[in-house]
Amino acid sequence: MAVNIIIRTLLSLFAIGIVMMLFMPILYELAYNSDLWDQMPANILSSRDNLYSIFLLVPLIGIGATVLWAYMAATRKDSEAYA
């Protein structure tokens, strides 16, 4: 059971890393290298920067959820332990 949890946890963390490596360059291109942002006011540009920063927090939430799931799965009791 423990090996299964470790393998699933490592695969989940690997998947989070791959997704971030795939999508963060796309978000960067949309956020900073688009001609659309040249004529925008400063308050909209600051909102864009804040949204980009929030997207940087998404993998941290995913990693936290994965670690929490692994801890809960590793420390749960079998049904015989409750009897």
For the chain, the domain total comes to 1
- Which residue type does 31 have? A
| Structural domain span for residue 50 | 2-76
Provide the residue-wise pLDDT of the chain in tens; the chain has 83 residues.
688 888 999 999 999 999 999 988 888 888 888 888 888 898 988 988 888 888 888 899 999 999 999 988 888 776 666 65
Q: Is residue 81 part of a domain?
A: no
Q: What is the identity of the amino acid at 11?
A: L
Identify the pLDDT of residue 75: 83
Report if residue 66 sits inside a domain: yes
Phi, psi of 78 (to 5 degrees): -75, 165
CA distance 49 to 32: 9
Q: For residue 33, what pLDDT is reported? A: 84
